[in-house]
Structure 1
Amino acid sequence: MAKRGLVLSTTAALAAAVAVVGFQLANPSIAAFRDSPKEVVDEVWQIINRDYVDGTFNKVDWRQVRKQFVENRDYASKAEAYRAVREMLKLLDDPYTRFMDPEQFKSMQIDTSGELTGVGIQLGMDEATKQLIVVSPIEDSPAAKAGVMSKDIVVSIAGQSTEGMDINKAVSLIRGPAGSKVTLGIKRGERQFDVELQRAKIEIHPVVAEVRDTPIGKVGYIRLRQFNANAASDMRKAIQQQANQSVTGYILDLRSNPGGLLYSSAEIARMWLDNATIVSTIDRKGESERLTANHQSLTDKPLVVLVDGGSASASEILSGALQDNKRAVLVGTQTFGKGLVQSVHSLSDGSGMAVTIAKYYTPNGTDINHSGIKPDYVLELSKADRERLSGDRELIGTLSDPQFAKAVEVLNAKVQNPQTPSASRP
């Protein structure tokens, strides 16, 4: 498994950064398909056949699928082949295994330390209702400034209903040139309303870190927005800088963090854990890979982690590792519940796909898929609090933020009694 090809994000191609696992045709006879639309269909079939996590392929006869989509069908255009690929993948009933046309794939490869163009939302799909939901808005994006919130349901895009729409289609409708506008129909509880958003170039910095003056002294506040290729180096810098300021402890904010790269979350876990299991992954053959901390922790000072329903995938790996190893106390609400790993592949014509290749388990062997992780201290923000924090995002991570205030309270208790949770030691 390529280090940076393993993806855990619920992020749609609106704003994703992943490294690509190259794909080579396994069978030389397939060379006859080169420069043919059928080649892409065959490539996708082969990847699923070889790597997909479910060996029953959702109880579908995958060889019969090959006959239907590859052997017995011709394609007059790439567009026709792409439609067939999506039809084929739909049989797996897995929203995270998805095909991306060249434009969508290029968007997915954007380095998120630079700029991207969009409205700034991470989209997911509710597997029960098949509705498109906002996993989280990106900080300071048009969507965030307009008050779009995690768990909002996107019911329409530019006047078109999203009923039955997959994420790729939604992304293609939402994306567009900077300065242009798009209207999203949002459902929040029983309320339904439209939000007009102006697309913009968005700078995404994965780590925001500040030392907060609190009643218990200086506290290192670190907010991690996404697990991209730069997240680990930014996190290391933040921890070290705050340690130099003699903070009493740390609050790590993973709220509305949709995930990202598996190894990025593991590298960050190693900064907090000294010697412990971080996560285990199991593929369809039952082969397991265990990632561990290796005596490289940067601090053993008390740590509280903030999580919510928008904390997904890599966020859940990190928070699960810290909770199971009694290194940190979790405060907030139940996490998103995505315990699947995707590998990203480039295809011969510049398109790409993400395929679910494994399940992951927390150090205690917990499968959090669908169920999420329950915090040690559950604290739900009121509707008024959510709207207040959404309206003035400068209040997030301050004592005006009820979940942060609770984290300070919990951190104080750990400072007074540092016995547990503490860094796991050999």
Structure 2
Amino acid sequence: FEKALSEIRSKAYYQLTDDEIYQAALTGVLDKIEQKSKNENASLPIAKANVILPPKTINSLSNEIKGEISGIGVGIQYDKNKGQTYPVLIDIIKGGGAEKANLQVNDQVLKIDGRPISEFKSFEDIVYAIRGKAGSTLRLRLLRDGETFDRKVERKIIQWNAFEVSSSPNGTPIFRINYFNEKTVPAMKKAIHSLKSKKVILDLRQSRGGLFKEGLDAIKLFAAKGTELLRIEHKDGKIETHTAQSDGPAKDLNVALLVGGETKSMGEAFAAAIANLRQAKLIGAPTFGKGTVETMMTLDNHYSVKFTVSKLYDAQGKTWDRVGLTPSIQLPQTEGSPSETDPHIQLAQLILNTK
């Protein structure tokens, strides 16, 4: 490699800077790692786990972990393998620019700031093109009911809760876990101690993952001392087993678990672990299919390298990576925010009432 690089530097007509050379080499290595990971159980299209991230993306990820995003306030779904030609809006967040611009669930995005969707290389590229500096304006071309139209949408700081508590129509508590960050477990503990019911619906349909430690701590809340929770396989094949070191405050609760296509990564780990702990059935649509743990290393040019360091398994040795979790009770994927007529919530109530 060094010999070839030396020849290229001395003789190539088109020259690259050292930064460009190293970034190209790293990209090639990470692409090979990514391809190798996709060769294992690759039945679902998954976002890249091994990749170089620019500073803008790192900043966005950091803010997401804190519970805030600078964007227009929409949820998006886009899967070419399911026949989707364009990204579809599946949620409009209250108070966001999208709501003010009268965007609606099921609107399709044709162009972003003049760029056709076909020009974007990945779903992540689309997401980060929609996000941006608060106060800036995003230009969208959309399709609704066969009609094409343009909208200018203001980006704002969108505050969102990693964990929310509500009730079903019959009063059953609902714990909605959207993300696992440093605020999730304290909020869950507070909600558990405030419960007057021995039943709870765990809604993971919008659980986009998060930090491994925080997700593991959340699982421990529902476990009895000595119970196996998760297994981690490292690069040398060594299996690390995580068990509960004490009784969790929610170990005796009856639970119903709701999942869907947006349930990913640590959200899937939580669902798989709780299902095993409670012998509970998953309700909803098949999950996203990401069962790996990544780490990030910051480079001198402020870019970061993200790469996979381990693979997750449930207590029975099963992985959901690239295949997702398949609910034993399947219902169609829901779009938009949960409502009182939500069939998933209604079924969860029925199951809990028969226990």
Q: Tell me which interval the TM-score lies in, with the shorter structure as reference length.
A: 0.7 to 0.9
- For residues 49 and 308 of structure 2, the distance between their equivalents in structure 1, rounded to whole angstroms, comes to 7
Output the amino acid matched with 1:233: P
**Aligned equivalent of 1:117, options 70, 83, 92:** 70
- For residues 255 and 173 of structure 1, the distance between their equivalents in structure 2, rounded to whole angstroms, comes to 24
- For residues 367 and 192 of structure 1, the distance between their equivalents in structure 2, rounded to whole angstroms, comes to 43
TM-score, normalised by the number of residues in structure 2 = 0.78
Output the amino acid matched with 2:163: V
**Aligned equivalent of 1:291, options 242, 246, 253:** 242
Tell me: CA distance 1:107–1:88, structure 2 relative to 1, closer, same or farther (3 Å).
same
- For residues 309 and 315 of structure 1, the distance between their equivalents in structure 2, rounded to whole angstroms, comes to 11
Tell me: CA distance 1:119–1:320, structure 2 relative to 1, closer, same or farther (3 Å).
same
Provide the secondary structure at the position in 2 that maps to 1:109: helix
Alignment-derived partner of residue 137 in structure 2: 181
Give, in angstroms, the shift of residue 205 of structure 1: 1.3
1:275-286 equivalences in 2 (<5 Å): 275-286=226-237
Provide the secondary structure at the position in 1 that maps to 2:267: helix
Residue 405 in structure 1 maps to residue 355 in structure 2: no
Residue 262 in structure 1 maps to residue 212 in structure 2: yes
- For residues 143 and 235 of structure 2, the distance between their equivalents in structure 1, rounded to whole angstroms, comes to 37
Alignment-derived partner of residue 15 in structure 1: none
Alignment-derived partner of residue 317 in structure 1: 269
Which whole-Å deviations, capped at 9, do the CAs of 1:359-385 have from their partners, x for residues lacking one? 21111111212221122321225xxx7
Q: Does the 8 A contact of 1:69 with 1:84 survive in 2?
A: no
Alignment-derived partner of residue 219 in structure 1: 172
Q: Does the 8 A contact of 2:113 with 2:138 survive in 1?
A: yes
Output the amino acid matched with 2:157: K
Output the amino acid matched with 1:253: D
Alignment-derived partner of residue 115 in structure 2: 160
Provide the secondary structure at the position in 1 that maps to 2:354: helix
1:24-423 equivalences in 2 (<5 Å): 64=1, 75-76=16-17, 82=23, 85-86=26-27, 88-93=29-34, 95-110=48-63, 112-113=65-66, 115-120=68-73, 139-140=93-94, 142=96, 145=99, 146-148=103-105, 156-163=111-118, 165-166=121-122, 169-184=125-140, 196=151, 197-212=153-168, 214=170, 218-241=171-194, 243=195, 246-274=196-224, 275-299=226-250, 300-380=252-332, 386=335, 390=336, 393=337, 396=338, 398=340, 400-414=341-355
- For residues 211 and 21 of structure 2, the distance between their equivalents in structure 1, rounded to whole angstroms, comes to 32
Which whole-Å deviations, capped at 9, do the CAs of 1:181-205 have from their partners, x for residues lacking one? 32456799x9896674431111121
Query: What runs of 5+ residues in structure 2 fail to find an aligned partner?
Result: 10-14, 36-47
Tell me: CA distance 1:252–1:68, structure 2 relative to 1, closer, same or farther (3 Å).
farther
Q: Does the 8 A contact of 2:229 with 2:243 survive in 1?
A: yes
Q: What is the Cα-based RMSD across aligned positions, in Å?
A: 3.7
- For residues 70 and 184 of structure 1, the distance between their equivalents in structure 2, rounded to whole angstroms, comes to 46
- For residues 70 and 311 of structure 1, the distance between their equivalents in structure 2, rounded to whole angstroms, comes to 47
- For residues 88 and 346 of structure 1, the distance between their equivalents in structure 2, rounded to whole angstroms, comes to 17
TM-score, normalised by the number of residues in structure 1 = 0.66
Provide the secondary structure at the position in 2 that maps to 1:344: strand
Output the amino acid matched with 1:289: E
Q: Does the 8 A contact of 1:279 with 1:361 survive in 2?
A: yes
Tell me: CA distance 1:128–1:380, structure 2 relative to 1, closer, same or farther (3 Å).
closer
110-119 vs 228-237, which deviates more?
A: 110-119
Q: Does the 8 A contact of 2:164 with 2:175 survive in 1?
A: yes
Provide the secondary structure at the position in 2 that maps to 1:325: helix
Query: What runs of 5+ residues in structure 1 fail to find an aligned partner?
Result: 1-63, 415-426
Tell me: CA distance 1:132–1:70, structure 2 relative to 1, closer, same or farther (3 Å).
farther
Provide the secondary structure at the position in 2 that maps to 1:310: coil
Q: Does the 8 A contact of 2:34 with 2:49 survive in 1?
A: no
Q: Does the 8 A contact of 1:308 with 1:335 survive in 2?
A: yes
Tell me: CA distance 1:100–1:236, structure 2 relative to 1, closer, same or farther (3 Å).
same
Q: Percent identity?
A: 24
Give, in angstroms, the shift of residue 315 of structure 1: 0.9
Give, in angstroms, the shift of residue 132 of structure 1: 8.7
Relative contact order (alpha carbons < 8 A, sep ≥ 6): 1 or 2 greater?
1
Length, aligned pairs only:
330
Tell me: CA distance 1:292–1:84, structure 2 relative to 1, closer, same or farther (3 Å).
same
